[in-house]
Amino acid sequence: MNTAQKLAYWAPRIYGIILTIFFTLFALDVQYTGDAVAFATELAIHLIPTAVLITILVLAWRREWVGVVAYTALGIWYIIIAHTRPDWIAAITGILFFGAILFGISWYNRRHRLAH
């Protein structure tokens, strides 16, 4: 593998890790109010996006098309649920669609490399 092929392979995976860490930071806005059960429940709810992104990354690690489909689907889903907030849509879907593009490039690169 040459340098461009290595970059095409590793860029979406590293981006997926960074994206997961970024979304995990949103879980830190949970406030402890003295009720441990409520805190644990709220934290678990805030960590659902992290679990989804980790699952996608694990599945897409070897099958890049999964990353393309899943990140695109998440972006479209977010457009639907946040249709009243175009600023949020631009920020969140932009980074999701960029991840889909990176996995698409990696998928194309793998198919092209294996064909030759």
Residue written as token pair 């830190």:
28
Residue-range domain boundaries for the chain: 3-115
List CB contacts of 83: < 8 A, sequence separation 6 or more. 89
pLDDT of residue 27: 85
Per-residue pLDDT of the chain (116 residues; tens, 9 = 90+): 788 889 999 999 999 999 999 999 988 888 888 889 989 999 999 999 999 999 999 999 999 999 999 999 999 999 999 999 998 899 999 999 999 999 999 999 988 776 66
pLDDT of residue 116: 62
- Say which DSSP state 83 is in: T
- Say which DSSP state 34 is in: S
